Structure 1
Amino acid sequence: MIDLQTIPADARLYLRPEAFVDTPVGRDGTVARLAGGLLWFAAYELIAIVGTARVAQASVPVAALPAVIANLAAPQAERLRTLAARISAPRAPIVLPGRTIRLDQPQVMGILNRTPDSFSDGGANADDTAAAQAGFDMAAAGAAIIDVGGESTRPGAATVWEGDEIARVRPVIERLAASGTAISIDTRKAGVMEAALAAGAGIVNDVAALAWDDRAVAVCVAAGCPVVLMHTPDPAAGPHARPSYADVLVEVYDWLEARVAAVVAAGVDRTKILVDPGIGFAKSLADNLALLNGMAMFHGLGCGIVLGASRKRLIGALSNEAPVDERLGGSVALALHGADRGAQILRVHDVAETVQALRVWRGLKDAGLTSRRD
């Protein structure tokens, strides 16, 4: 590592919020707000990358960042000013017909799979009426969004024909939309996106970040809908083509940064983009843990963050190979970890339990915000 005063002029710079505090009261000028939400932090981790190597890494107090910026080359100084502004800027709400979902606190996205082979609940919602009722139940339990999918993304899953996928998701979306439920469609296919949006879905959630189907971006631009871009290193190869990472946090950040820029250039409003680091997709256990621990860095993209870690394999790996149906505790722990790092959307199977945990979490944050410091 080198001194921050001698960062190479060609280094790429990153900021990760750290040193979170329970209240900003009495800390004027020494803390910054995270994404306009309920969290405040007192320092940034500044990371400098040359090639694939971290050549500098140090904690910089919030109040000291302007002095650090003053000593940098002009492009790097502008980069850090942009990152700091994006990290603190409030996230635009998700605006859907008849419903607005605020992103100044964590929201729950309930998972509704219409697939016979999903890793967790394959076949559980095979009947249209029962599937719709499962969606209603999740909404009643506190889910702000119901994420409907008709193709499994588990390792080794076969690609589903577009017509079959539409047949799986459209009847359920129509029933849920008729009740005013906010719906996202979990798909890579432009035709499925079109059919789902026409049936009443309002958000596109794509594990391939609109890069698997050549028409996907155009469909979303035409619809003007919010989109979730998930990291997958090679969309054409599918979500589980395993690469090797020199620095998984930085590489996933760079990939998402480039993908956001491409989608914005194609015509999607940046305020309508959310990002997902893709926990469990083309990552090892160590990769997943590094992303979870470093997740606050993704706020530098200036987009809402979606975290989907519910019932994932990493929970079993950390808990004596617990099977999928015994991962509730780990799922809630990861959801709360995401909330503590500012994730705006938590995509989960177990809605009622996660919502209850977040209500307690919110109570703790509210108490901190109203506390007095003499």
Structure 2
Amino acid sequence: MTEENVSDFASIPAHADLYLRPVQFVDSPIGLDGQVARLAGGLVWFAAYELIAVTGGRRVVQQPVPVAGFEALLDSVSAAQRERLSLLAELISAARAPIIAGERVLRLDQPLVMGILNMTPDSFSDGGANMGDPDAAAQAGFDMGTAGAAMVDVGGESTRPGAKTVWEGDEVERTRPVIERLARSGTPVSIDTRKAAVMEAALSAGAHIVNDVAALLWDDRALEVVAKAGCPVVLMHSPEPTKGPHGGSGYGDVLTETFDWLEARIEAVVAGGVERAKIIVDPGIGFGKAMQDNLALLNGLSLFHGLGCPVLLGASRKRMIGALSNEAPVGERLGGSIALALKGAEQGVQLLRVHDVPETVQALRVWRGMKDAALVGRPG
């Protein structure tokens, strides 16, 4: 790092909010001791951080800092800033605790697939194909597991724009019989809901994880239910979760604002009795966000490792894929979904929530094969 760089960092306002985003990913750490760092204890390594400093909602610094020059950066900033940056770097590299799902232990040192199983008549992706037949729906879930999904996410209420709120009793009736069948088979199951009563019913039926698009804010009892159960929980970002997942009035800087929101929500949920190691974060692609917001989040996904929690990416078949590909209908968005899944894997995302399980698993296996080959070493 040059003296000019250090001088630039020393000029960061003492009250600036600081962020670190891992960048400059490398195929292998071999021969790069001290020059690269490991991302979240996984298969991805990086050679630099992007330092972002924000004051008054505006980025005043956005500059790469080599991993090898990180200590020089720490020496050039205030004590409070040094503490913040050191914590972020520690959280970015720390291995994530595995997910315990009954007798299954799901390690998070490589990306895992979460298969989507909708039990709704108005799902934008499958049009209610599994409604009214728990056996057939459970079989679809079993098939996802056989195809390589690490877990199955069962939902009984559509969260597409304009969807009507489902009464909790109907949501339970739709999801509980399927969860019971999947759980008996040993399949790890998450319940996709924002309602406490549905969470309770699903957990009692054998679900292992709660996946809440409202980050436990829609229902006043949701946090209590999750804390009492001691189960892992996915906290998804949306602008106004108490009103619905698609509200909001825009962003100044969607990447840092989403990070701040999730950071504050994690602290609130921990204060409510949930272990930090059991919290998973989701930036909420497509929820209260315009196209440019979604693209900024996807390009900056690695920033969220600074929260110290596993990251879930749910971009499968989303509207943005159609918008970027001549308005391709939902059933013709496989290629775009795979592209986004691999974008997530390359940035260290641990969980990929997808509709097309076999195809995504195959893509990840090829990606993993290339990673393994790179770790063998370099020729010559």
1:321 aligned onto 2:330: no
Structure 1, residues 235-258: CA drift from partner, whole Å, max 9, x if none? 111000032100000000000000
Give the C-alpha shift of residue 372 in structure 1: 2.9
1:45 corresponds in structure 2 to: 50
Secondary structure in structure 1 of the residue aligned to 2:242: helix
C-alpha distance in structure 1 between counterparts of 2:124 and 2:74, whole Å = 47
Give the C-alpha shift of residue 363 in structure 1: 0.2
1:292 corresponds in structure 2 to: 298
1:60 corresponds in structure 2 to: 65
Match of 2:32, as an amino acid? R
Q: Paired residues, what number?
A: 374
C-alpha distance in structure 2 between counterparts of 1:5 and 1:365, whole Å = 38
**158, 169, 172: which is aligned to 1:163?**
169
1:5 corresponds in structure 2 to: 10
1:76 corresponds in structure 2 to: 81
* Structure 2, unpaired ranges of 5+: none
C-alpha distance in structure 1 between counterparts of 2:249 and 2:47, whole Å = 35
1:132 aligned onto 2:138: yes
Match of 1:261, as an amino acid? E
Within a 5 Å distance, the mapping from 1:139-178 to structure 2 comes to 139-178=145-184
1:26 aligned onto 2:37: no
**70, 87, 93: which is aligned to 1:88?**
93
Within a 5 Å distance, the mapping from 1:256-295 to structure 2 comes to 256-295=262-301
Give the C-alpha shift of residue 20 in structure 1: 0.3
2:226 corresponds in structure 1 to: 220
C-alpha distance in structure 1 between counterparts of 2:29 and 2:78, whole Å = 32
Query: 4+ residue runs of structure 1 moved beyond 4 angstroms?
Result: none
C-alpha distance in structure 1 between counterparts of 2:366 and 2:130, whole Å = 30
C-alpha distance in structure 2 between counterparts of 1:373 and 1:132, whole Å = 48
Secondary structure in structure 2 of the residue aligned to 1:49: strand
TM-score (norm 2): 0.97
Give the C-alpha shift of residue 373 in structure 1: 6.3
Contact 1:25 1:373 (C-alpha < 8 Å) held by counterparts: no
Secondary structure in structure 2 of the residue aligned to 1:342: coil
C-alpha distance in structure 1 between counterparts of 2:351 and 2:250, whole Å = 28
Contact 2:9 2:77 (C-alpha < 8 Å) held by counterparts: no
Say which is worse superposed, 215-224 or 2-11, in terms of deviation. Answer: 2-11
C-alpha distance in structure 1 between counterparts of 2:219 and 2:148, whole Å = 33
1:189 aligned onto 2:195: yes
Structure 1, residues 30-68: CA drift from partner, whole Å, max 9, x if none? 000000000000000000000100011100000111111
* Structure 1, unpaired ranges of 5+: none
Give the C-alpha shift of residue 122 in structure 1: 2.6
Give the C-alpha shift of residue 350 in structure 1: 0.2
C-alpha distance in structure 1 between counterparts of 2:124 and 2:242, whole Å = 21
1:359 aligned onto 2:365: yes
Q: Percent identity?
A: 70
Contact 2:317 2:333 (C-alpha < 8 Å) held by counterparts: yes
C-alpha distance in structure 2 between counterparts of 1:19 and 1:171, whole Å = 47
C-alpha distance in structure 2 between counterparts of 1:162 and 1:209, whole Å = 17
Contact 1:113 1:122 (C-alpha < 8 Å) held by counterparts: no
Contact 1:148 1:186 (C-alpha < 8 Å) held by counterparts: yes
1:246 aligned onto 2:237: no
Match of 2:186, as an amino acid? G
Secondary structure in structure 2 of the residue aligned to 1:3: helix
Match of 2:362, as an amino acid? Q
Structure 1, residues 74-124: CA drift from partner, whole Å, max 9, x if none? 111100000000000000000121100000000000000000011111311
Contact 1:114 1:168 (C-alpha < 8 Å) held by counterparts: yes
1:345 aligned onto 2:351: yes
2:121 corresponds in structure 1 to: 116
Secondary structure in structure 1 of the residue aligned to 2:165: coil
C-alpha distance in structure 1 between counterparts of 2:374 and 2:85, whole Å = 29
C-alpha distance in structure 2 between counterparts of 1:370 and 1:40, whole Å = 15
1:180 corresponds in structure 2 to: 186
Contact 1:26 1:373 (C-alpha < 8 Å) held by counterparts: no
C-alpha distance in structure 1 between counterparts of 2:199 and 2:79, whole Å = 42
C-alpha distance in structure 2 between counterparts of 1:333 and 1:55, whole Å = 32
Give the C-alpha shift of residue 5 in structure 1: 2.1
1:16 aligned onto 2:24: no
Say which is worse superposed, 61-70 or 41-50, in terms of deviation. Answer: 61-70
**312, 315, 335: which is aligned to 1:309?**
315
Match of 2:225, as an amino acid? V
C-alpha distance in structure 1 between counterparts of 2:204 and 2:193, whole Å = 14
2:235 corresponds in structure 1 to: 229
Give the C-alpha shift of residue 130 in structure 1: 1.1
C-alpha distance in structure 1 between counterparts of 2:38 and 2:330, whole Å = 36
Contact 1:112 1:146 (C-alpha < 8 Å) held by counterparts: yes
2:41 corresponds in structure 1 to: 36
Give the C-alpha shift of residue 135 in structure 1: 0.3
C-alpha distance in structure 2 between counterparts of 1:93 and 1:310, whole Å = 24
TM-score (norm 1): 0.99
Contact 2:240 2:248 (C-alpha < 8 Å) held by counterparts: no
Structure 1, residues 109-157: CA drift from partner, whole Å, max 9, x if none? 0000000011111311112111111101101100001000000000000
C-alpha distance in structure 1 between counterparts of 2:164 and 2:97, whole Å = 36
C-alpha distance in structure 2 between counterparts of 1:45 and 1:38, whole Å = 20
Contact 1:273 1:303 (C-alpha < 8 Å) held by counterparts: yes
